[in-house]
Chain A
């Protein structure tokens, strides 16, 4: 007997807002987190803009002890701990006592590459024949699971504590991994989320691939243009999002607030076969992933009234819309409302799926559909398939009933999760 799984807490450390209140307001009002980055200019990047959360020492001391902060330079861990701790508190959960962990609570917190700045410091020391000067945190800040390890210790979780990694699919995949663990009865609650480091050493490779916009260094807020005819590439971002997933029994027993229910979902890969490659999606795989998510959730295509796409603002956005349309067999004005949040905070890479899940779920709470930005000139490939009014240019009043969220990543990997407004 599979158990029902609900979302009882959320936290976010996003480029356009840290904490649910600021983030929800930024999303509703269309406040951008994309800014000019002098550091990228100095280093000769083509794309000199990016989206990163604005941290300060005062904020960090609320989440880390002075000892943890010594030599802490893994930005992904900072973002992940902020989002994860906030989600835990938002769910009304307490941290485990000193002597015993909470055996029923686990963590799946993903990362792409972690602790890049710490790794860089270490490399300088090592090349200088100064290995002995590395200190004790080089390993824990640069291991991929560093973020879940920090959170596991802070919260005292005694169930599975791990890190998943599947490029830009990471966050959405993590939601489904946590969901499975609870649905199958192996945990009562799972903190799921993902983070992505900031900085030139994370973003340079994308600049080298020439898939970032180069002509918006003077007007960063206009640079990220999902679904637009003038889309010029994705704006690199960073941050973290986190959700507390919980069995319905546990949530109701504690009287927890419930943001939404997870009905199910699907993850797959195009195998880099057909039209799929390391960096381009196999459309058949994308469509299968969406169709299988619908089937797994036990709903019909027509039940979906809201989609939050992956839609990065590259030339592939039209193809993504075509794949949604084919998978759901819906088009024109029958197509669900669809939005992309990347217009406001760029593509947060391994953090994208989790930050976007948080934003998507806030729409249930606020009875709003957050507006798209920078796409008044919708790409003709898209308007050929769906009506322009399916792509609201401003935040509108809208109560989602069933929302599909998908993320796609390098390696030809896909994830699609189905959220439903909670009804007992």
Chain B
């Protein structure tokens, strides 16, 4: 799976959790989920579950704590896919 496909899949997941006044165009690699995209912190849990389903991987508590930005998420996904 190339990086672009991964990124687009992740964006599609994040999109659902954006508040009304944040557009999908606001998502960049460096976006912080909570402070920049204004995603409700409770929904980070759901993003993790959606990522697990989409990429058929499992994230540990540690991974979840590290997942602050879109890039963090991609790094974690890469590591998990490699370890499979």
Interface residues of A (CB under 8 A from B): 65-67, 70, 98, 133, 135-137
7 pairs of A and B residues whose beta carbons are closest in the complex = A136-B42, A136-B45, A136-B46, A135-B46, A67-B16, A136-B43, A135-B49
The DSSP consensus for interface residues of chain A is loop
A137 cross-chain contacts in B, Cβ below 8 A: 46
A-B pair number, CB within 8 angstroms? 17
The chain A residue sitting closest to B58, CB to CB, is A132
Q: In whole angstroms, how far apart are the Cα atoms of A70 and B49 in the complex?
A: 13
Q: In whole angstroms, how far apart are the Cα atoms of A40 and B16 in the complex?
A: 35
Q: B45: shortest Cβ distance to chain A, in Å?
A: 5
A67 cross-chain contacts in B, Cβ below 8 A: 16-17, 43
B17 cross-chain contacts in A, Cβ below 8 A: 67
Q: B68: shortest Cβ distance to chain A, in Å?
A: 18
Q: B53: shortest Cβ distance to chain A, in Å?
A: 10
Q: In whole angstroms, how far apart are the Cα atoms of A98 and B46 in the complex?
A: 24
Give how many B residues have a beta carbon under 8 Å from the other chain's beta carbons. Answer: 9
The DSSP consensus for interface residues of chain B is helix
Contact, CB under 8 Å: B16 / A70:
yes
Q: In whole angstroms, how far apart are the Cα atoms of A135 and B49 in the complex?
A: 7
Given contacts A135-B46, A136-B42, 10 further A-B contacts (CB under 8 A): A66-B16, A67-B16, A67-B17, A67-B43, A70-B46, A98-B21, A135-B45, A136-B43, A136-B46, A137-B46
Q: In whole angstroms, how far apart are the Cα atoms of A5 and B31 in the complex?
A: 50
Contact, CB under 8 Å: A133 / B16:
no
Interface residues of B (CB under 8 A from A): 16-17, 20-21, 42-43, 45-46, 49
- The 17 sampled A-B contact pairs (Cβ below 8 Å) are A65-B20, A66-B16, A67-B16, A67-B17, A67-B43, A70-B16, A70-B46, A98-B21, A133-B49, A135-B45, A135-B46, A135-B49, A136-B42, A136-B43, A136-B45, A136-B46, A137-B46
B42 cross-chain contacts in A, Cβ below 8 A: 136
B45 cross-chain contacts in A, Cβ below 8 A: 135-136
A133 cross-chain contacts in B, Cβ below 8 A: 49
Q: A73: shortest Cβ distance to chain B, in Å?
A: 15
B43 cross-chain contacts in A, Cβ below 8 A: 67, 136
Q: In whole angstroms, how far apart are the Cα atoms of A70 and B42 in the complex?
A: 14
A65 cross-chain contacts in B, Cβ below 8 A: 20
Most buried by B among A65, A136, A137: A136
Most buried by B among A65, A67, A70: A67
Q: In whole angstroms, how far apart are the Cα atoms of A64 and B46 in the complex?
A: 18
The chain A residue sitting closest to B53, CB to CB, is A133
Q: A40: shortest Cβ distance to chain B, in Å?
A: 32
B20 cross-chain contacts in A, Cβ below 8 A: 65
The chain B residue sitting closest to A135, CB to CB, is B46
B49 cross-chain contacts in A, Cβ below 8 A: 133, 135
The chain B residue sitting closest to A98, CB to CB, is B21
A98 cross-chain contacts in B, Cβ below 8 A: 21
Q: In whole angstroms, how far apart are the Cα atoms of A65 and B18 in the complex?
A: 11
Q: In whole angstroms, how far apart are the Cα atoms of A186 and B17 in the complex?
A: 36
Q: In whole angstroms, how far apart are the Cα atoms of A135 and B46 in the complex?
A: 5
A136 cross-chain contacts in B, Cβ below 8 A: 42-43, 45-46
A135 cross-chain contacts in B, Cβ below 8 A: 45-46, 49
